[in-house]
Chain A
Amino acid sequence: MSIVDLTSMAEPEGEAQKKVNEIIKGLKEDIPNDCYQCGKCTSGCEAFILTELEPHKVMALSKSGFIDELLNSSEIWTCVTCLKCKERCPQDLAPVDVIFAVKNIAVVSGKQIDSGYSNMLQAVLGTGFIQSPKEVVDRENNAVTREGLGLTPMKGPEEIAKLQQVLMKAAMETLR
């Protein structure tokens, strides 16, 4: 399995599926028993107001092992990562981190993810950055570039192939 497979939407099979199952089991075990479902996270959730994301439910579902339901839900992708749930949890838990973990699992499980994310990954692998310098327009609608503004060219990674190679390996590792 490589990072390219990670976003190719292919359902893992055999050994790869075993690994995914292990990660899912690990997530369930990693979540402490301390959430008493007070709902404070959801009451302050910036996404809840608009998209029905309920962080306290994410906590309960993950802990109870209903991770597949979460992996197939669209709500996990509506978290705006404001981090208020983590900040305000009276039990010092972090629903936002569980949501990130579930999204990461959705990716290794071959679930379909928004092309915006896979494009961003491809850009980082190809150039080191999520996007390259753009031509923008000023308030009078004149086209403007980095160079045109007298800004020096971006100094990105010198050996992009090397970075790409290391990133591919690092993605398979648990660096957290």
Chain B
Amino acid sequence: MDLDKIGLYLGCLIPTEQYAYELALREVLPEFGLELVDIEGPACCGAPLRHINLSLTMYLSARNIALFEKEGLDILAPCPYCHQALSEAKDIMKKNPALKEKVNTYLKEEGLEYRGTNEHFHLLDLLHDEIGIEKIKESIKEPLEGLNIAAHYGCHLIRPNDIPRPDHSEDPQKLETLLKAIGAKSEYYNEKLDCCGAHIFINDQESALTKTGQKLEAVQKHGFDGMTTMCPWGQRMFDAKQDSAGQTVGASLSLPVIYYIQLLGLAMGKEQEKLGLHLNKSPVDKLGSKEED
């Protein structure tokens, strides 16, 4: 890996409520010799505003990339929604230089320029392709043997395939490979690519929670010990809103849902509190007791 430092772009949801993800990222990634750099000035990636005005999404994504570019930094965007918005903005401006110039006329007012010279990563490709499976295996002190964990990727992490995404749109495997690297099992399940419902939670909570509940119920019925995510939106639905999702679909849900980076930290022998495990609302304690069986 050539990367020894990377700009951390957290977006909106991680630094305002999904603190466990941020804690675990800051605790675990430096162990691989990667310095996470915080910079002044980032804002929303613009993806949540797509429903209202697509130009705002474009401007905000270009602006965030330009801020890191100015510092000579590549970007780690651990939120799939942000990562996809940045990828899309980059792709559109690459294919349409005239539009890039137009965006730049606005950026100039904020003293910025988008050139498109830096890279951006999600945690999935950063771990799998840059840090690499071998280094991850070497870092493991307490392999998570005996656990069968369902992988949830998140829609925006793998789609659409007409722009670069970190894994295959219909048959992603990198998260399963990462789970195996830390000693866990991850079997295939039919609902693997099902949506968490997060994006209609804002205007239709019942439909959103129904989607969440249906997927959780399926995963629980398949007999998985837990589910892992790399998305703050998915984690928010499956973990923080698990009780309401269970009530909505009339199911008794008790499934540990945990960020992959938290699982990795546990396997590296990190303290639970430093990984924000006390902030998970789902019964993540069950993972430990199962492991000792």
Contact = CB atoms under 8 A, between A and B. Distances in A.
Interface string B164-207: 00000110000000000000000000000111011110111001
B292 interface: no
Contacts of B148: none
A162 B19 contact: no
A16 interface: no
The 7 closest A-B pairs by CB, nearest first: A128-B43, A116-B202, A114-B203, A83-B159, A175-B55, A175-B58, A170-B59
User: Number of contact residues on A: which range applies?
Assistant: 35 or more
Contacts of B4: none
A48 to B, nearest CB: 11
Interface of B: 12-13, 15-17, 19, 22-23, 26, 38-44, 48-56, 58-60, 92, 99, 102-103, 106, 109-110, 155-156, 159-162, 169-170, 193-195, 197-200, 202-204, 207-208, 210-211, 276, 278-281
A33 interface: no
A117 interface: yes
A175 B155 contact: no
A100 B54 contact: yes
Contacts of B162: 86, 92
Contacts of A173: 55, 102, 106
A156 interface: yes
B23 A81 contact: no
B100 to A, nearest CB: 10
Interface string A44-83: 0011001100000000000000000000000001111111
Contacts of B26: 151
B204 A130 contact: no
A175 B104 CA distance: 11
B42 A78 contact: no
Given A87-B160, A87-B161, A175 B103 contact: yes
A171 B13 CA distance: 23
A24 interface: no
Interface of A: 3, 6-7, 46-47, 50-51, 77-84, 86-87, 92, 94, 100-101, 103-104, 107, 113-114, 116-118, 120-121, 124, 128-134, 136, 138-140, 144, 146, 149, 151-152, 154-159, 162-163, 165-167, 169-176
Given A51-B207, A87-B161, A114 B52 contact: no
Contact of B202 (A83, A104, A117, A169): A117
15 contacts: A3-B53, A50-B207, A120-B52, A130-B13, A131-B13, A131-B16, A133-B17, A139-B280, A151-B19, A159-B110, A162-B110, A166-B106, A171-B53, A173-B106, A175-B102
B19 A149 contact: yes
B38 A155 contact: yes
Contact of A166 (B15, B42, B59): B59
A103 B52 contact: yes
A149 B204 CA distance: 32
B44 A163 contact: no
B53 A146 contact: no
A55 to B, nearest CB: 14
Nearest to B154: A82
Contacts of A176: 54-55, 58, 92, 99
B82 to A, nearest CB: 11
Contacts of A124: 43-44, 48-49, 56, 60
Nearest to A7: B52
Contacts of B17: 131, 133-134, 136
A111 B276 CA distance: 42
Contacts of B210: 50
A156 B42 contact: yes
Contacts of A149: 19, 23, 276
Nearest to B11: A129
B80 to A, nearest CB: 11
Given A80-B195, A167-B59, A50 B52 contact: no
A46 B211 contact: yes
B36 to A, nearest CB: 11
Contact of B53 (A104, A116, A134): A104
A118 B56 CA distance: 13
